Structure 1
Amino acid sequence: MRFLKFFFKIIIWLLMALMSVWGCFAIFYSNLPQNLGMTGAAIFAIFCITCLTFGFAKKKTRILFFAVFAVLVIWWMMIPPSNTRNWQPDVAVLPWAEFNGNLVTIHNIRNCEYRTETDYTPKYYDKTFDTSKITGADFYMVYWGSPMIAHTMLSFGFEGGDQVCFSIETRKEVGEEYSAVKGFFKQYELTYVVADERDLVRLRTNFRNEDVYLYRPKTTKDMARKVFLDYLKEVNDLKEKPEWYNALTSNCTTNIRKHTKPYSGNAVVDWRMLVNGYLDQMLYERGAMGSDLPFQEFKKRSYINEKAKPLNDNPEFSRLIRVGLP
């Protein structure tokens, strides 16, 4: 019995320690002025250290700790996202969609004119699509650093060769850089970039020099249409009511799963949905890729950088990067 009681106390102490670390980061990375955030995090850290070292044995101290932490969580949850900040030019204009039967008009489809990754002219166009003529959904994986982590995008094809690409990203302010740590603490709003592939894909292959793989998974036209409409519903919702990006729960991959899960026959949770650099291997093993090639050969043939680089802003960009894909 004593051992169980001691073990239970160790678990409680570890839980309080983890809560302390989270709380310090939440205050430090809050939208408070920098000096106030640093001061608040320091005060909370001192309070936590005191509770964990000098007062942990006392029940009243533990109750006080959990009460203070509950107040912190309530305050943190009430920090509102916004659509009115000094946004970087490439995410300053939000897309939105109008529906008329099978027809949908997407406004503000991005197609920037790039000179370099950071030197570009934002450009947009509107276009009407017939959702009854959707042909499928293609899946992009973009490696920008570690092979364990990738950025994922979906692109929907239509009869006639049109493609509409969606990239779920952080909506960064002017001068703001992405940080994986900050991504857990309400530092970025969530945005759905709806763009021409000559923008979203070419930016990554030709200007950022990231490794881009294009997969054409098996899917029905009906499922592709439903997922496409689900994406556009979220696009309209975000225009009216902003949301926070979260590196764990609301990112480029978890949100794809949110849109596809209602229509997918195999949505079992897999560790590769978090370590998403191996997501293509997971889909291959589940038979979603529809290829008999060995996986490594299949992946090698799905690499599109060498096709994309000489095309630049060629109007046939989307068709030509798909030539010869498995």
Structure 2
Amino acid sequence: MSMKRLLHGIGWFFLVLMTAFATAALFYSTVEPAALRISLTVLCPTSILAAFLGRRYILAPASLATIFIIFWGWYLTDPPRNDRDWAGEYALPANATLNGRVAHIEHVRNFTYRTTEDYTPHYYDADYNLDDLSSLDLVTSYWAGETIAHVFLSFGFKDGRHLALSIETRRQKTFAYSAIAGFFHHYETFYVAADERDLIGVRTDIRKERVYLYTLTLSPQARERLLLSYLAEIHRLTLQPAWYNTLTDNCTTGILTRAQAKWRYRLDWRVLLSGYTASLAYDLGLLQTHGLSFPALKQASRLYRPANAVPGNSFSKDIRTKTIP
């Protein structure tokens, strides 16, 4: 193959790739009204195709360059926002402030769910003394196969309370959830600070997902640093919203970012395929194993709830009686 043909093929590849990305980014954008968003989605590939078909003319390369400059100029400056019409569970963000050794969390979410769509919103404010931080659990929740799971953490305190912290997509009322949309500027990043009755209970009792709870063996100092990193980011997002990205800034990579993990761990395939994150934690010696192999530990760590159970005041204690003592 000649160098000219090779370069020609590479050029084709990047043109198709850029066209596909730009078209999808516009389709999954937050541009309103919807008619404008759809119009731009159609106009983008149409304009690129027209410029390409006119490639024999001297202005065609300039036209293609102009189209992509306009697109990237918009995409790279498209700002995340905190003032959209959010879906109910993402309407009120948490905030965190630190007064000495006491963390004050505003808007700890504690919804009462009857179905996934029928719930009563409820929030409370709470203070957590860092000196009372006593445990840290890794939670993985599966709704389909074994490859993908939602992964989050729950911090335990000496008085029996647990603060569950989950990195999620902040969805607008207008749009249904889409995994593909998360690869583009569609969702803002949302840190849910919640009671376990909400964050775990909705998964075990309402959605009937397969939920696993593992105890992490981080040192007290590491647990505190991780919690403080979460709290700092929760506060920062109230002032400076950020885009969520399914590939680079998701529920699992966000945990590793907060933990300041090395890049070789962030790029591990078990992070990209989040259903295997607990397996990675096991291999790194971060889980309390009780001498079990990972398959046995996973089986023992699954949370089983009675039929028709609802999360009550003893929920956190109840789910831990289903794990290894």
Q: TM-score, normalised by structure 1?
A: 0.91
Instruction: Tell me the distance in 2 between the aligned counterparts of 1:268 and 1:182.
Output: 22
Inter-CA distance 316–59: structure 2 relative to 1 (3 Å threshold): farther
The corresponding residue for 1:217 is 216
- Residue identity opposite 1:181 in structure 2: I
Give runs of aligned pairs for residues 149-164 of structure 1, distance below 5 A.
149-164=148-163
Give runs of aligned pairs for residues 110-121 of structure 1, distance below 5 A.
110-121=109-120
The corresponding residue for 1:22 is 21
Instruction: Tell me the distance in 1 between the aligned counterparts of 2:76 and 2:249.
Output: 15
| Residue from 263, 277, 280 that aligns with 1:279 | 277
The corresponding residue for 1:38 is 38
Q: Please, what is the CA RMSD of the aligned residues?
A: 2.3
Instruction: Tell me the distance in 2 between the aligned counterparts of 1:284 and 1:60.
Output: 58
Give runs of aligned pairs for residues 141-220 of structure 1, distance below 5 A.
141-220=140-219
Instruction: Tell me the distance in 1 between the aligned counterparts of 2:164 and 2:4.
Output: 56
Deviations, residues 44-86 of structure 1 (Å, cap 9, x unaligned): 212323455662x889744542442122111122222222222
Structure 1 residue 258 and structure 2 residue 257: aligned? Answer: yes
Instruction: Tell me the distance in 2 between the aligned counterparts of 1:290 and 1:102.
Output: 27
Inter-CA distance 189–268: structure 2 relative to 1 (3 Å threshold): closer
Instruction: Tell me the distance in 1 between the aligned counterparts of 2:27 and 2:308.
Output: 45
- Residue identity opposite 1:37 in structure 2: R
Q: 36-45 vs 293-302, which deviates more?
A: 36-45
The corresponding residue for 2:268 is 270
Q: Matched residue of 1:312: which SS?
A: coil
Inter-CA distance 51–284: structure 2 relative to 1 (3 Å threshold): farther
Q: What is the aligned length?
A: 322
Inter-CA distance 248–272: structure 2 relative to 1 (3 Å threshold): same
- Residue identity opposite 1:260 in structure 2: A
- Residue identity opposite 1:229 in structure 2: L
Q: 311-320 vs 22-31, which deviates more?
A: 311-320
- Residue identity opposite 2:97 in structure 1: E
Instruction: Tell me the distance in 1 between the aligned counterparts of 2:173 and 2:305.
Output: 33
Q: Give the superposition deviation at 1:8.
A: 2.2
- Residue identity opposite 2:131 in structure 1: S
Contact residue 48 and residue 67 of structure 2 kept, 8 A: no
The corresponding residue for 2:67 is 68
The corresponding residue for 1:79 is 78
- Residue identity opposite 1:42 in structure 2: V
Q: Matched residue of 1:249: which SS?
A: coil
Q: Give the superposition deviation at 1:156.
A: 0.7
Deviations, residues 267-317 of structure 1 (Å, cap 9, x unaligned): 46201211111111222222222423122111111100x147676333221
Instruction: Tell me the distance in 1 between the aligned counterparts of 2:57 and 2:285.
Output: 56
Inter-CA distance 40–117: structure 2 relative to 1 (3 Å threshold): closer
Q: 250-259 vs 81-90, which deviates more?
A: 81-90
- Which ranges in structure 1 are unaligned for 5 or more consecutive residues? none
Deviations, residues 246-283 of structure 1 (Å, cap 9, x unaligned): 22222211111110125x79846201211111111222
Q: 194-203 vs 81-90, which deviates more?
A: 81-90
- Which ranges in structure 2 are unaligned for 5 or more consecutive residues? none
Q: Give the superposition deviation at 1:225.
A: 0.5
Contact residue 54 and residue 60 of structure 2 kept, 8 A: no
Q: Matched residue of 1:6: which SS?
A: helix
Deviations, residues 65-123 of structure 1 (Å, cap 9, x unaligned): 24421221111222222222222222211111221111111111111122222211111
Q: Matched residue of 1:117: which SS?
A: coil
- Residue identity opposite 1:270 in structure 2: D
Q: 316-325 vs 189-198, which deviates more?
A: 316-325
The corresponding residue for 1:289 is 287
Inter-CA distance 323–177: structure 2 relative to 1 (3 Å threshold): same
Deviations, residues 180-224 of structure 1 (Å, cap 9, x unaligned): 122222222221110000111000000011111111122111111
The corresponding residue for 1:133 is 132
Inter-CA distance 114–63: structure 2 relative to 1 (3 Å threshold): same
Deviations, residues 131-167 of structure 1 (Å, cap 9, x unaligned): 1221232111111123211111111111122110011
Q: Give the superposition deviation at 1:176.
A: 3.0
| Residue from 309, 312, 315 that aligns with 1:314 | 312
Inter-CA distance 268–105: structure 2 relative to 1 (3 Å threshold): closer
Q: Quote the sequence identity (%).
A: 34
Instruction: Tell me the distance in 1 between the aligned counterparts of 2:306 and 2:246.
Output: 29
Inter-CA distance 32–87: structure 2 relative to 1 (3 Å threshold): closer
